[in-house]
């Protein structure tokens, strides 16, 4: 190691990659720590879970980002805590000393304390979870196909998605299309038994969008055969029966949980104060409250300055914070104390609600339908890492749109 | 079910798919049974194991082949035996009655009774095994990167492939290239510690090719840094040290076993006589010896009529046998007893030995180098199922050739 300042970054998501790319230009040594060796393009995770894209198309090797950055070292390890007295990050593969530490560790699924739901339903935050959903949903069709007990068959073919945010909406829409594709290939299955339900606890889907966009989304989903149920709360799920507040029961083998996120548990072990959803409280300058050389950005940071609510857990917050964070760290390295205050610039919101259909809004600008979908596609393709990936994903989407098939429908981890 | 003859096929490999496609044109009901819901393009499995291709690119949903064939039903189940008295196939999901049964169940890895080797080394016959190899090899680099014990580090970076057939050759060549790519992205790892060894028990690699092609193959592999060891026999492996006949030991965490195949164990439960490598003995007309209505083709069939050795376990044998098998079944259905005798037409052999390099031979025709590689690529692309798959695989190979990167290098199933 050189005598240069040692920067340690936890997390290879949108925030972490941006941080490391910016620090790479400075005269510092950077260690990027992540438990996975890839950056995951989370907004498209629902496409892996519904057999549209391959894992490789939304996961990009972290080292490849830094091929020409000799001062960036990647360390594959699970962060477990921070010792702010000794200035070391604790991991399952040993300690990593730092001069400056930035927490960009992201979020995980929030089951709001419902242990049984957590145990039996499918989260949607990691590539492994997406593959589990894909394998399970496809396997349910295979098992239902020769099932002679009608009650059991229907239970296998009842799919429930919980959560009316972009992930839940996109997942429910993609499953409804997947059902249509399966219909062409199961010659002897009665598709009247197949259903897809979207459950949302509040009266609205997509709270970040204006009311008319929300209504449009519900209308489109219902037209596609998704049973949209608003103001409906889940209270329990044992793997066989989903229980709703009020006593109603839905027999189902498949509950996909996209109803909330919280910071990863590691954040509670960093010596800072955590707020709602386990996020660590940061100052206006992104320093962890009370810390001198530890910053936090993105989904794991609780930033509440000049806004009514903490900043949303979306990629633009993380990448914008990364820019300010790097500038502030460099100020500290250079002995300056006038740290910059972070201000979030809202870029608007968008969600795809099916093949060739999306909704989007930014300020007073609103759009829906095929052109919104084109915009959605362009934005997501532009952000996907790697020229080759962009190209093959674009081909796959086009092929999908034209042929209405999904070649990714392979079951890889089921014991039969 | 209709009153039509019930044909049951076990296995969705090259033979099974061909059988079902041919039977689909006849006035019969077909059930294709496989424990996986996809057809696997096994010749390219080594490319998944070395992060060149995605799983979806060499696996094709079986049902998609038969979208327009209403008389073909797919049943995802693991075949467990045959009751030739009651005419039923036994599976882990119940019995399947048949009028005619065709075994096209394929082969699995042959460890020649060495239990410890089987337990600790990696087979290369299924998509799950290919993913295990990929995850493990990449993970070894990540763990070695921060390993301070030089002995342990070297053990992690010593990769051994056993078997000098096409699979072993291709795997060793692809790993040597993977090492070159890793070298660009591990800024602080000493690559003198990294090695790839190919071990073959006989004095020759690629026995199906003429001597000059074998020598060319060994020469090319050695130039690529593969330590080729002929006439070398493995006797034991405990996960840490590979033991060779004669007492030599190679400390390594990675042994990939491509040294032999045998019929899947299910074949021994079919009521027929099994020969060498667990293959079931068939008559000249492909009927299982002693059976009236049970046929066997491909890797699981022991066909020894008019040749010195049983037919090789390659795709062309299976697909050619499928054609004759269907004609013979139709003859029996139509009350004819003059069954056709199967004659194998050798189409030659080919193997790729690296990026832009291959060897091939058919009769007196021989070719090696870039043009042989182009021929190899065209033959494999033509056989890959699905127009879209062909296209994206072609792009990926071209991209690979130009850029020298492999975007598939993501580790998906390692607990860190």
Question: Tens digit of pLDDT for each residue in B54-65?
Answer: 888 888 899 989
| Mean pLDDT, chain A, integer | 92
Give pLDDT, residue A416.
Answer: 42
The ipTM assigned to this model is: 0.91
In tens, the pLDDT along A201-213 reads 999 999 888 899 9
In tens, the pLDDT along A117-148 reads 999 999 999 999 999 999 999 999 999 998 99
Say whether pLDDT at B339 is over 90.
Answer: yes
For the question of residue A240 being annotated catalytic, the response is no
For residues A87-99, average pLDDT? 97
For residues A218-247, average pLDDT? 96
For residues A305-310, average pLDDT? 88
Rg of chain B over Cα atoms, rounded to whole angstroms, equals 22
User: Of the residues A170, A177, A200, A216, which is catalytic?
Assistant: A170
Identify the residue with better confidence: B133 or B208.
B133
In tens, the pLDDT along B180-229 reads 999 999 999 999 999 999 999 999 999 888 899 899 999 999 999 999 99
Give pLDDT, residue B403.
Answer: 66
- In this prediction, residue A413 has a pLDDT band, given cuts at 50, 70 and 90, of low
Closest partner residue to B61 (CB to CB) among A70, A76, A410 is A410
Say whether pLDDT at A1 is over 60.
Answer: no
- Chain A hits for B412, CB-CB cut-off 8 Å, are 55, 59, 127-128, 131
In tens, the pLDDT along B269-288 reads 999 999 989 999 999 999 99
In tens, the pLDDT along B223-247 reads 999 999 999 999 999 999 999 999 9
Distances (CA, A) of A80 to A33, A221, A281, B69: 11, 41, 18, 55
Identify the residue with better confidence: B413 or A28.
A28
Total-model pTM: 0.92
Give pLDDT, residue B407.
Answer: 64
Q: CB distance B416–A188 less than 8 Å?
A: no
Q: Report the distance separating Cα A92 and Cα B358, nearest Å.
A: 44
In tens, the pLDDT along A212-230 reads 999 999 999 999 999 999 9
Give pLDDT, residue B416.
Answer: 42
Say whether pLDDT at A290 is over 70.
Answer: yes
Share of chain B above pLDDT 90, in %: 75
Q: In 3D, which of A271, A272, A268, A270 has the Cα closest to residue A282?
A: A272
Give A 40-69 residues with CB within 8 A of chain B. 54-57, 59-61, 63-64, 66-67
Identify the residue with better confidence: B44 or A99.
A99
User: Of the residues B73, B129, B142, B170, which is catalytic?
Assistant: B170
- Chain B hits for A63, CB-CB cut-off 8 Å, are 185-186
Say whether pLDDT at B29 is over 60.
Answer: yes
Q: In 3D, which of B137, B139, B208, B128 has the Cα closest to residue B171?
A: B137
A159-168, B42-51, B73-82: segment of lowest average pLDDT: B42-51
Q: CB distance B187–A73 less than 8 Å?
A: yes
Share of chain B above pLDDT 70, in %: 94
Give the largest Cα separation in chain B, rounded.
Answer: 74
For residues A312-323, average pLDDT? 94
Q: CB distance B76–A187 less than 8 Å?
A: no
Say whether pLDDT at B35 is over 60.
Answer: yes
For residues B378-387, average pLDDT? 72
For residues A64-93, average pLDDT? 96
Say whether pLDDT at A300 is over 50.
Answer: yes
- Chain B hits for A185, CB-CB cut-off 8 Å, are 61, 63-64, 66-67
Torsion of CA B203, B208, B210, B212, to 10 degrees: -50
Quickly tell me which residue has 């182009």 as its tokens. Answer: B374
Q: CB distance B399–A389 less than 8 Å?
A: no
In tens, the pLDDT along A246-267 reads 999 999 999 999 999 999 999 9
- Which two tokens mark A84? 């702010």
Three-state SS for chain A is CCCCCEEEEECCCHHHHHHHHHHCCCCCEEEEEECCCEEECHHHHHHHHCCCCCHHHHEEEHHHHCCCCCCEEEEECCEEEEECCCCEEEECCEEEECCEEEECCCEEECCCCCHHHHHHCECCCCHHHHHHHHHHHHHHHHHHHCCCCHHHHHHHCEEEEECCCHHHHHHHHHHHHHHHHHHCCCCCCCHHHCEEEEECCCCCCCCCCCHHHHHHHHHHHHHCCEEEECCCCEEEECCCEEEECCCCEEECCEEEECCCEEECHHHHHCCCCECHHHCEEECCCCEECCCCCEEECHHHEECCCCCCCCCCCCHHHHHHHHHHHHHHHHHHHCCCCCCCCCCCCCCCEEEEEECCEEEEEECCEEEEEHHHHHHHHHHHHHHCCCHHHHHHHHHHHHHHHHHCCCCCCCCCCCCC
A55-64, A82-91, B155-164, B314-323: segment of lowest average pLDDT: A55-64
**Which positions ≥6 away from B150 have C-beta within 8 Å?**
B193
Closest partner residue to B60 (CB to CB) among A56, A395, A407 is A407
- In this prediction, residue A385 has a pLDDT band, given cuts at 50, 70 and 90, of low
Q: CB distance A187–B127 less than 8 Å?
A: no
Say whether pLDDT at B88 is over 90.
Answer: yes
Q: CB distance A35–B416 less than 8 Å?
A: yes
Say if A131 is an interface residue toward chain B (CB within 8 Å). yes
- In this prediction, residue A411 has a pLDDT band, given cuts at 50, 70 and 90, of confident
Say whether pLDDT at A414 is over 60.
Answer: no
Give pLDDT, residue B390.
Answer: 67
Q: CB distance B408–A56 less than 8 Å?
A: yes
Give pLDDT, residue A245.
Answer: 96
A6-10, B70-74, B309-313: segment of lowest average pLDDT: B309-313
| Mean pLDDT, chain B, integer | 92
Give pLDDT, residue A407.
Answer: 64
Q: In 3D, which of A291, A283, A365, A352 has the Cα closest to residue A52?
A: A352
Give A 168-187 residues with CB within 8 A of chain B. 184-187
Give A 73-102 residues with CB within 8 A of chain B. 73, 75-78, 92-94
Q: Which of A36, A61, A147, A387 to mutate to test the interface with B (most CBs of B within 10 A)?
A: A61
Share of chain A above pLDDT 70, in %: 93
């Amino acid at each position: 190691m050189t005598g240069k300042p040692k920067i340690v970054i936890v997390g290879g998501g949108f925030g972490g990659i941006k941080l490391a790319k910016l620090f790479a230009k400075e005269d510092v040594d950077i260690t990027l720590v992540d438990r996975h060796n890839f950056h995951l393009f989370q907004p498209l995770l629902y496409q892996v879970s519904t057999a549209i894209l391959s894992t490789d198309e939304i996961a990009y090797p972290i080292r490849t980002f830094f091929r020409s950055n000799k001062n960036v070292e990647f360390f594959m390890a699970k962060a477990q805590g921070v010792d702010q007295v000794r200035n070391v990050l604790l991991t399952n593969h040993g300690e990593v000393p730092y001069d400056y530490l930035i927490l960009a560790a992201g979020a995980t699924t929030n089951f709001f304390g419902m242990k049984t739901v957590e145990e039996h339903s499918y989260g949607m935050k990691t590539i492994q979870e997406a593959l589990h959903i894909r394998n399970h949903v496809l396997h349910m069709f295979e098992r239902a196909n020769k099932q002679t007990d009608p009650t059991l068959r229907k239970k296998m073919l009842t799919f429930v998605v919980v959560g009316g945010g972009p992930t839940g909406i996109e997942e429910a829409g993609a499953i409804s299309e997947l059902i249509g594709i399966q219909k062409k290939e199961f010659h002897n299955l009665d598709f009247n038994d197949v259903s897809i339900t979207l459950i949302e606890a509040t009266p609205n889907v997509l709270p970040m969008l204006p009311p008319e966009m929300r209504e449009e989304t519900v209308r489109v989903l219902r037209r596609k055969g998704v049973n949209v149920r608003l103001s409906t709360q889940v209270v329990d799920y044992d793997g066989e029966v989903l229980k709703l507040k009020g006593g109603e029961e839905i027999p189902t083998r498949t509950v996909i949980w996209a109803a909330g996120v919280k910071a990863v548990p590691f954040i509670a072990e960093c010596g800072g104060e955590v707020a709602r959803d386990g996020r660590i409280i940061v100052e206006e300058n992104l320093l962890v409250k009370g810390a001198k050389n530890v910053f936090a950005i993105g989904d794991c940071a609780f930033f509440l300055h000049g806004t009514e609510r903490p900043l949303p857990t979306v990629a633009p917050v993380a990448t914008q914070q990364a820019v300010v964070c790097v500038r502030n760290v460099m100020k500290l390295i250079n002995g300056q104390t006038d740290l910059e205050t972070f201000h979030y610039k809202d870029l608007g919101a968008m969600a795809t609600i099916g093949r060739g259909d999306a909704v989007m809004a930014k300020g007073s600008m609103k759009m829906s339908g095929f052109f919104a979908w084109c915009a959605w596609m362009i934005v997501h393709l532009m952000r996907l890492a790697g020229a080759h990936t962009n190209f093959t994903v674009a081909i796959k989407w086009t092929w999908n749109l034209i042929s209405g098939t999904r070649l990714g429908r392979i079951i890889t981890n089921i014991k039969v």
